[in-house]
Structure 1
Amino acid sequence: MASLPFQEARQEWSRRFALAAEPCPDEARGPRALLLMREFLWPLEPLKRRFSTLEVAPARTPKRVMMLPGFGAHPVRMRWMARQLERAGHTAKSWGMGINLGATADRFAKAEQRLLDLYDRRGEQLVLVGWSLGGVMARELAKRHPEKVEKVVTMGSPFSGSPRANNGWRAYQAIAGHRVDEPEIETVLTEKPPVETVAFWSPRDGVVHPRSACGRVGERDRAIALRCSHMGFVLSNEAVSALLSELERS
């Protein structure tokens, strides 16, 4: 009997390995290999910021912002961006969990409860800012609770086209334990939330295909092109400046 937990764990990991090894049925492709390799230069982003100017003006109407990290990322990866928002006078809140290991039903339920708790504290709508998978989850939260969300801003989020049009879907299936096109929550990813929805995308994204992050007319209200890497969405002056401008438009 003592070996039963080990056997169950081995079977589970075998199942996840099989998910990661699946062929791509729709022949979707992520960004080119060169762009993906450039993503590993993200530690240089703080140095690059020194060669550009970031002006943070006081916000005319401060917002409360809930920030959702990307797949495999801890909220600390968005901390620099959060600090810039707070410099402007906004209130930045994390999603209340650690590393984002996939949009499982349990993790989504916790993110949903976090949104409800933040709203109940002041009764004020929040702006949801989601990076990569975090943006996909932000869109779903806004669909369920539009009265509590003022706006959704996604950054390099794969909400359009094939869910495999990125360079991370195999890792996602292995870690989350389900197929990218078989989410644990009932949804239509391309459906636009009933609130203002803005998509940041970049032709230099090495993880998510630009078309998937940009979306089509009707899947978001506006799309804004940046020239940063996928990691740069939360680390570059350009992305922060674009986000601050969006918050001023609300």
Structure 2
Amino acid sequence: MPPDDRGESPAPGRLRPPGLGLLLAEMRGIFEFNTSLLLSPLLMRARKGDGHPVLTLPGFLASDLSMAPMRRYLRELGYDAYAWKMGRNVGGVARMRAALRDRLAEIHASTGRKVSVVGWSLGGIFARDLALQAPEQVRCVVTLGSPFANDVRATNVTRLYEALSGEAVADDSELRKAIAGDLPVPATSIYSRSDGIVNWRTCLQRPSDTAENIEVYLASHTGLGVNAAALWAVADRLAQAEGQFSQFDRSGPFAIAYAPPEQAQS
């Protein structure tokens, strides 16, 4: 059995981090970004926004710069997109809870509207926690390659996360279970089976009338936030009216990039 990121063999029943081949293939993220630039005319055909605020949360070791292309895209569609303004994300789910809640409350108070939260990787875990903490302020949650479910140690950055954040992934099991469970707001998890950083099974939530999983073919972890098909899906999910939710329609200009619903849920 292949070793995990600690150099140890995972116990029976545990998920493995993605293999070396997928990890090395993460370099294609720059290609995904360049492709999105070329396909920008198609991306602008997405449904327009209603001006409501959208808070974007970067992934582990990333800063607001990583989500600048998404914020720019969302603003062009008519959303009021916000950065998290907390520098580089070095982790700490428990440590960051209060600051994130304050940032959400600040945006909610200044706009007078519920805030949609889009989180990439670790940012998605933060986003789900915000929905649990303040559901009255959150309109919906969209996560991108976020390892919040199943065996959350099945990533290639677990040891680094624990070293930099000062928190063990196994800490606060009740909080982890809550984040992995059903949310009180509509939630969409976007992921890829070709993710080289996190095991894609850690991104799956229980489908329901207000929760769904969307698989994007061939996307990398580092490119998921700038991948054209993922951006289209984010925009489509944000365009839903407040208080309403319908499952993602896998048609349109990027239809070929999405797995069928039944495949995305297993």
Q: TM-score, with normalisation over the residues of structure 1?
A: 0.84
Higher-Rg structure is 1
Displacement of 1:50: 5.0
Q: Whose helix fraction is larger, Structure 1's or Structure 2's?
A: 1
Aligned-residue sequence identity (percent) comes to: 32
Residue 238 of structure 1: which of 229, 248, 258 is its match? Answer: 229
In 2, the alpha carbon distance for the partners of 1:119 and 1:226 equals 31
Aligned counterpart in structure 2 of residue 209 of structure 1, from 199, 202, 218: 199
- In structure 2, the partner of 1:221 is 211
Q: How many residues align?
A: 231
Q: Secondary structure at the match of 1:45?
A: helix
Identify the residue that residue 189 of structure 2 maps to in structure 1.
199
Matches within 5 A, 1:22-41: 23=8, 26=11, 27-41=14-28
Q: Is the 8 A contact 2:32 2:228 kept in 1?
A: no
What residue ranges of structure 2 are gaps of 5+ in the alignment? 242-266
Maintained 8 Å contact 1:104/1:185 = no
Report the alpha carbon displacement of residue 80 of structure 1 after superposing the two structures with TM.
0.6
Q: After the TM superposition, which of the residue ranges 144-153 and 220-229 deviates more from structure 2?
A: 220-229
How far apart are residue 202 of structure 1 and its match?
A: 0.8
Q: Report deviation, 1:219.
A: 11
Q: Secondary structure at the match of 1:129?
A: strand
1:142 to 92, 110, 131: 131
Q: Which moved more, 1:64-73 or 1:177-186?
A: 177-186
Change (3 A) 1:106 1:219: farther
Q: Which residue of 2 aligns with 1:127?
A: 116
Correspondence 1:41-190 to 2 at 5 A: 41-50=28-37, 52=39, 54-57=42-45, 59-183=48-172, 186-188=175-177, 189-190=179-180
1:86 deviates by: 0.4
Paired residue secondary structure (1:199): strand
- Comparing 170-179 and 214-223, the one that deviates more: 214-223
Distance (Å, rounded) in 1 between the aligned partners of 2:34 and 2:113: 37
Contact 1:199–1:220 (CA<8 Å) still a contact in 2? no
Structure 1 gap ranges (5+): 1-19
Q: Distance in 2 between matches of 1:219 and 1:28?
A: 28
